[in-house]
Structure 1
């Protein structure tokens, strides 16, 4: 098969103040073994030197497209803006503080070709690295009981409701899946949980047990802001939980969602997000899965609010 006959893969490289990590991220795109790539560089109104770095790489690689947004619009809108201008059969949402290992795209395309045609997303393992690029650990821990958190493949709707197990930077999405969903929900502060919920209702997910990506851990990363006082993402999480409730078809699925909501309720109370805790308590009431601890937390949130 010639390069042109291979499926086109779009990499949407999203940058916001990633100057320190940007060259390594962009070099990792250049280092991909897979030849049929479409690359869109998107800067979401960075205030550091990211734009000049992006411009330098775009000038050196004319087939790449550079999109400079005039104002900061957030990940969901920035991704959709680029996605609507792309053509790839498969799409990678690549944060430019992370790193793609050389076989990432090739391995994921091969996984799609092995998977069921109803597969809407391939994900894999990742190395978690610090600001200096040193290995911290893998996303999935190898234990006597198997990988932890336990990955899931196939029809995983109940799994994504109940627990976190997907390393977001490792996702490669089928274009048809994103188009069916209308892209990311631009009213949300973050994208992955909503994508998992909506996509897994009608599409299968496929886990590839390979390390394909390095996820950067640093104080400015989105993952560091969650589950803290005034969590900027909690309101979006609650909205997605209500979306999930509307998509549930069975008691088992509603029970799985209750597990997630109970976790979110504990975190909301722990970090004194009491208004959101009350919303989560009300959702548990609708689900009909209130435990004694949930009632106690709901009462505490109402008293101290």
Structure 2
């Protein structure tokens, strides 16, 4: 691909209290071997020194656009602020604590440019790291050749998305025109990925690129850890997305997969003590199939408002204590 033929890629970086990591994230973008990049950074009302670090970086690193939010608008709205300014043919949604491998954008653009227009997303493997940057594991386990040990869905992945989580979100490169057709991220939700996957995969294809091109940081207070926190809004968002999937489904197999997914959310509602929400999930499930005895038992426990979350944590704490007394460690 000749230099003057290379399409522009917009990297939208959303940061909230990422003072320890935002510099590393930005450096990983500006050290890309691919040069046709614009960078848009949104400080989403950070209460630490993230904004100060960003303003210092503007004096050192190549120019990037900086949006300063007075408060935390939520991930989806912050990203949409960047999307409104983006001029690239493709977009990368990067969290302020993750990093890109140097060849990430070059490899993904080369692949995307070879694909038909009905492909909306290219995604890849990733390495997970802890707060200090130590590698923990790969998203997809790899063999000695660095390739994933099992087949990763590619092409029409809508059924796979209904069934389970398998895409590492920050590895995605997205066709900008698709994002705009969908109206960006749904700002009423706590998260972006499951909703975007549902709304885009039902209409467009995804392509898996079997390389490790991103390093994703795992932190104790990450968004995913809030699923079991009562009142976090996470399970409410999942309920909203399941309703969208119900309207978008095309055949019975997709409804069967959605039903299985709804059952998992009902169990999570019990654990998170989101009792009324469990009843709403159960009602949605009933439109698809008879919930069955096992699910109705979980729903009954929700109707009784049993504090399963507290009981489980108490049990786990005392179980670990007993094991430690016997000389076992975790």
Q: What is aligned with 2:154? A: 153
Q: Indicate the residue corresponding to 2:245 in structure 1.
A: 244
CA–CA distance in 2 between the matches of 1:75 and 1:201? 23
Whole-Å separation in 1 of the counterparts to 2:46 and 2:305: 39
CA distances 1:104-160 after superposition (whole Å, capped 9, x unpaired): 1111112212333210011111111000000100111248xx958862111111111
Match of 2:43 in 1: 43
Shift of 1:271: 2.8
Cα distance in 1 between the residues matched to 2:57 and 2:113: 31
Q: Name the counterpart of 2:316.
A: none
Matched, 1:105 2:109: no
Report the 3-state secondary structure (helix = DSSP H, G, I; strand = E; otherwise coil) of the residue aligned with 1:128.
Answer: strand
Query: Normalising by the residue count of structure 1, what TM-score does the alignment of the two structures yield?
Result: 0.94
SS at structure 1 position matched to 2:283 = helix
Query: Alpha carbons of 1:285 and 1:197: their partners in 2 closer, same or farther (altered >3 Å)?
Result: same
Structure-2 residue corresponding to 1:68:
68
User: Root-mean-square deviation (CA), in Å?
Assistant: 1.8
Aligned to 1:186: 187
Q: Give me the whole-angstrom Cα distance separating, in 1, the residues matched to 2:201 and 2:291.
A: 26
Name which of structure 1's ranges 201-210 and 53-62 shifts more when overlaid on structure 2. 53-62
* CA spacing shift, 1:119–1:79, aligned 2, 3 Å: same
Partner of 1:119: 119
- What residue in structure 2 maps to residue 80 of structure 1? 80
Q: Give the aligned partner of residue 300 of structure 2.
A: 299
Contact 1:7 1:89 in 2 (8 A): yes
In the TM superposition, residue 70 of structure 1 has moved relative to its aligned partner by: 2.2
CA apart distance, 1:200: 0.5
- Paired residues for 1:1-305 under 5 Å: 1-142=1-142, 147=148, 151-304=152-305
Unaligned ranges ≥5, structure 1: none
Distance 1:31 1:87 in 2: 20
Give me the whole-angstrom Cα distance separating, in 1, the residues matched to 2:296 and 2:149: 30
Name the SS of the counterpart of 2:85 in structure 1.
Answer: coil
Matches of 2:272 and 2:189, distance apart in 1: 21
Contact map agreement 1:89 1:174 (CA 8 A) in 2: yes
**Which of 108-117 and 205-214 deviates more?**
108-117
Deviation of 1:229 after TM superposition, in Å, equals: 3.9
Instruction: Check conservation: 2:30, 2:62, Cα contact below 8 A.
Output: no
2:319 corresponds to: none
Larger Cα-atom Rg: 2
Q: Distance in 1 between matches of 2:119 and 2:301?
A: 43
Given the superposition, is the C-alpha separation of residues 215 and 114 from structure 1 closer, same or farther in structure 2, using an over 3 Å criterion?
same
**CA drift at 1:232:** 3.1
TM-score normalised by structure 2 residue count: 0.87
Instruction: Tell me the alpha carbon deviations over residues 195-220 of structure 1, each in whole angstroms, 9 at most, x when there is no partner.
Output: 00000011101111111111101122
CA distance in 1, matches of 2:233, 2:54: 28
Deviation track 1:159-203 (CA, whole Å, cap 9, x = no partner) reads 111111010111111011101100001111111100000000111
Name the stretch that deviates more: 117-126 or 105-114.
105-114
Residue 60 of structure 1: how far off its partner (Å): 2.6
Between stretches 39-48 and 289-298, larger displacement belongs to 289-298
What is the rounded CA distance, in whole Å, between the counterparts of 2:141 and 2:267 in structure 1?
25
- Using a 3 Å threshold, how does the CA distance of structure 1 residues 98 and 53 change in structure 2: closer, same or farther? same
CA-to-partner distance for each residue in 1:24-45, whole Å, 9 max, x for gaps? 1111111111110010111011
